[in-house]
Amino acid sequence: MNQAAPAPRENQGDPVVRIDARLKVTGQAGYPADIVTANVAHGALATSSIARGKVSELHTKDARAVPGVLDIVTYGDLDKTDMPKFGNTGASSIGPLHDKTVFHDGQIIALVVAESFEAAEEAAMLIRADYEDERPSASFDSKGVKMEPAAGKSPMFKEDAKAGDFDAAWADATVKIDEKYSTPTQHHNPIELFSTTAMWQGDQLTIHEPSQNVTGWKVELARQLKLDQANVRIVSPYIGGAFGSKGPMTARTAIVAVAARRIGRPVRCVVNRMQAFGTQTYRAETRHRIRMGAGKDGRITAFGHEAWEVTSRPDPYVVGGTSATARMYNYGSVLTHVSLVHADRNTPGYMRSPPETPYVYALENAMDEMAVALGMDPVEFRRINEPEKEPIGGKPFSSRSLIKCYDQASEAFGWSKRDPTVGSMRDGDWLVGMGCATAIYPTAAAPCAARVRLTADGEVRVQCGSHEIGTGVRTIAGQMAAERLGVGMDKISVEMGDSALPPAPVSGGSISTASVCSAVMKACDAIREKLFAAAAGKGAPLAGSANAKLDLKDEEVVTETGKSAKLADVFKAMQVGAIEEYAEFAPKGSSPEALSKLYAGQSEFHGGENDEDSVKYAFGAEFVEVRINSYTREIRVPRIVGAFAAGRIMNTRTARSQLMGGMIWGIGQALHEATEIDQRHARYVNRDLQDYLVPVNADIKQVDVILVPEIDHQVNPAGVKGLGELGNVGTAAAVASAVYHATGKRIRDLPIRIDDLIG
């Protein structure tokens, strides 16, 4: 069961090995900061040590005196450029060098450029700022924060979901839960540090930077620098850890580009780990109040979810995960409300399942509490509340295999052996606890273009400006082409991660497999059409065969009756050497301008709860066992089992890796991960991997992934639901449920640590 390459079940593709596996493990995959460039100068950032106020004076004399320093880019030097914008492609509207206002801790106040990295770092440390500082507001409980309703503040979150008469149902409910939950601040800490390398050739600018959105960045950077889009290129062939952190472009990219232009040399700026906390995006802390009412029969009659999210002063970053929690079960009535709390913080941004991770954590914790209050098995409780239709719009689910996931995961886990009595299971000095929770993630797709070329010798080249963020999308796009064009994987090459390629949407929202595969499939099908027409044409090798009956296999065009013609012969008949097709895919329901928006760097998402015909989600069920020492209360997770259904699985190996990685992250979110904020100063305190804890190998024992077969023709032509962000949803709630089962303590605030269980 616990294999790296699970045997494919129904509607699941082969566990093809990643086409870049060898390059990656032998260190030959070139990440953006590895690009060798002659004459490169090194940049280092200087950042603010206050969170709110103004820089009254910047002292750069000592820094300039450091041998090897070439330039210092600071206030005034960006005046000829446009301010960054907050939105899909831009991380924040704060233009740190456009304005001496300090909006948050660790805001860029200068970029030092020097002959060596060491000189740049040293000089950056010598830059001193005098501030007119004001008392900052750090988070929810701080004086001076501004609160407002979130609905309508972001195009991603238009309204608060509601259905039925919540107040009446709540008043009538026989069993009630009314509890508060919270999730902490979390920062992206990919092992590949954030970096920008900028090079100019005349008016042409090339940026090497890990990016999940090369087309969007090209457009946005051209706007900021007032350049023709054709003169900007973003290159990002490999990415070492993305998860949303490299989705929106930050202010640094333009600053480094300006520096390179000023000194007439390429400039590379690799941001150190501490400074990444203030200069990149992160998952902001959230708070939740859940009210749930049910009858004695276990049917939920009322579900209320209020939530609060922190964002920066200027930008309304909203995740609004109530859109998913409100559609999870058959609630009867629903009332939700999301509030934004503006504090003196940098603007948050996407982190793996941005809305679902915190919101589903709260919901699933409440579900577990309700099951206990009802005296009901938590799996049974979910079964009883399985909806026919989603409760908000009354639309059907395009497919929903949640109960199958629960059945297969609980069987593999051995749930039936769990004694439901709290604190009843023990192994020597260790308390044993078992818990479970639901995972959900919306299935979406966005317009995408791809170019596919087939030559007479069967070589296939796929080009698409999507991004290999570690998910395996390059391999999967290749698999799709190999399957449609009837060639082996050894004949396939796939180019991605370059804004010079056909545009693809941002690699976020788990849309890449669906969007990219649908575009690649369309291009391949156009090639098939041409080949088949030629092969069946007058005087051609398979003359007289019906097009629809032809297929491609082993580099041959084959008929149903077993006749075949070699690709090379068909090309000969056509008198061409290569067939190249450029295809544009737009999901059902796309606006007429959706495809032109793709070239303008904007991704129009379709799916999730927004389609007319149905709502589209992938589901999963996760079961966790914890062990808690009866004396010292440290929590360990010996095993976790997750079963997931996500439509067609393109590649069982890469799918398993995504889900396994998600569950591991989920364990980290449950037990380890949290950014500490100094509440007096609104500053991040644990800004390195020594204090910002993530699980290490020794923390992760047995992780089992079950890929539950599911067929869904409604979601997109490829039949694929995204699963990159599914695995870490619900995990923390499953852990919380297991901790409760072991100890009788209900921990509602993450992470769950010894502090909560001792004493």
Partner 1 sequence: MRPFVYERPTSVSAAIAIASRPDTVHVPSTGAGTQFIAGGTNLADYMKLGVARPERLLDLNTLAEPALRQIRIDNDKIRFGALVRMGEAADNNDVRRRCPVLADSLKFAASGQLRNMASLGGNVLQRTRCEYFREISWPCNKREPGSGCAAMEGSNRQHAVLGTSDACIATYHGDFAQALVALDATVDVEGSRGRRTLTFSKLHRRPGETPDIETDLAADELITAIEVPLAQWSSRSRYLKIRDRESYAFALASAAVALDMDGETVRSARIALGGLATVPWRAREAEDTLQGKVLDEATAQEAAEAAFADARPREHNAFKIPLGKRTLVRALLETRDMKG
Which spans of this chain sit near partner 1 (rule: CB under 8 A)? 49, 118, 121-122, 125, 274, 429, 629, 631-634, 636, 671-672, 676-678, 680, 685-688, 690-691, 693, 695-699, 753-755, 758-759
Residue partners of 2: CB distance under 8 A and separation at least 6 = 702, 703, 704, 705
In the bound state with partner 1, the residue whose beta carbon lies nearer, of 118 and 554, is 118
Contacts of 414 (CB under 8 A, 6+ apart): none
To partner 1, the closest distance from the beta carbon of 277 in angstroms equals: 11
635: helix, strand or coil: strand
User: Amino acid identity of 696?
Assistant: V
Report the C-alpha gap between 650 and 652 in whole angstroms. Answer: 7
Return d(Cα 353, Cα 103) in angstroms, integer: 26
Show the tokens assigned to 310: 């922190």
Phi first, then psi, for residue 405 (nearest 5°) are: -60, -45
Residue type (1 letter), 686:
N
Burial class of residue 455, CB neighbours in 10 A (0-12, 13-18, 19+): middle
Least Cβ distance, residue 67 to partner 1 (angstroms):
8
37 versus 632: smaller Cβ distance to partner 1: 632
Q: Where are the alpha helices (DSSP H) in 414-458?
A: none
Hunting for tokens 């019906």 — which residue is that? 546
8 A C-beta contact, residue 66 and residue 123: yes
Residue 48 C-beta: closest distance to partner 1, Å: 9
Nearer to partner 1, 222 or 754 (CB): 754
- Cβ 675 to partner 1, closest distance in Å? 10
Give the nearer residue to partner 1 in terms of CB position, either 523 or 670: 670
d(CA 483, CA 113): 49
Q: How far is the CB of 726 from partner 1 (least distance, A)?
A: 25
Length in residues, the chain:
759
321 within 8 A of 729, measured Cβ to Cβ: no
The structure tokens listed for 443 are: 């299935």
Closest distance between partner 1 and the C-beta of residue 425, in Å? 20
Q: Of 120 and 294, which CB lies nearer to partner 1 in the complex structure?
A: 120
Strands 617-629 vs 430-442: parallel, antiparallel or unpaired: antiparallel
Residue 53 backbone class (left: φ over 0; alpha: ψ -120 to 50; beta: rest): left
Quick one: 167 or 755, whose CB is closer to partner 1? 755
Residue 499 backbone phi and psi in degrees, to 5: -70, -5
E strand residue ranges, 48-92: 53-59, 69-73
Joined together, the tokens standing for residue 150 give: 């979130």
- List 523's β-bridge partners, or say none: none
Amino acid at 700: I
Amino acid at position 167, single letter: D
Least distance in angstroms from the C-beta of 362 to partner 1: 23
SS3 170: helix
- In whole angstroms, the minimum distance from the beta carbon of 507 to partner 1 comes to 30
Nearer to partner 1, 121 or 356 (CB): 121
Task: Return the number of the residue (561 or 631) whose C-beta is nearest partner 1.
Answer: 631
**Inter-residue contact 93 to 84 (CB < 8 Å):** yes
Task: Tell me how far, at minimum, the Cβ of 694 lies from partner 1, in Å.
Answer: 8
Name the 3-class secondary structure at 22: helix
Instruction: CB nearer to partner 1: give 33 or 504.
Output: 33
Residue 679 CB, shortest distance to partner 1, in Å, is 8
Minimum CB distance to partner 1 smaller for 121 or for 220: 121
Q: What residue type is 679 in one-letter code?
A: Q
Taking the CA atoms of the chain, what radius of gyration do you get in angstroms?
A: 27
Q: Which residue has the tokens 């260190």?
A: 27
Report, as residue numbers or ranges, the catalytic residues. 725
User: Would you say 675 and 345 are in contact if contact means Cβ atoms under 8 Å apart?
Assistant: no
Q: Are 254 and 319 in contact (CB under 8 A)?
A: no
CB of 724 to partner 1, least distance (A): 25
Beta strands 282-283; 186-187: pairing state = antiparallel
The residues near 548 (Cβ < 8 Å, ≥ 6 apart) are: none
What 8-state DSSP symbol labels residue 680? T
Q: Give DSSP secondary structure letters for 340-403.
A: EEE-SS------SSTTHHHHHHHHHHHHHHHHHHHT--HHHHHHHT--SB-TTT-PBBS---HH
Of 664, 620, 622, the closest CA to residue 646 belongs to: 620
Phi, psi at residue 152, to the nearest 5°? Answer: 85, -10
Q: Side chain identity at 44, as an amino acid letter?
A: A
Shortest spacing between CB 629 and partner 1, in angstroms? 8
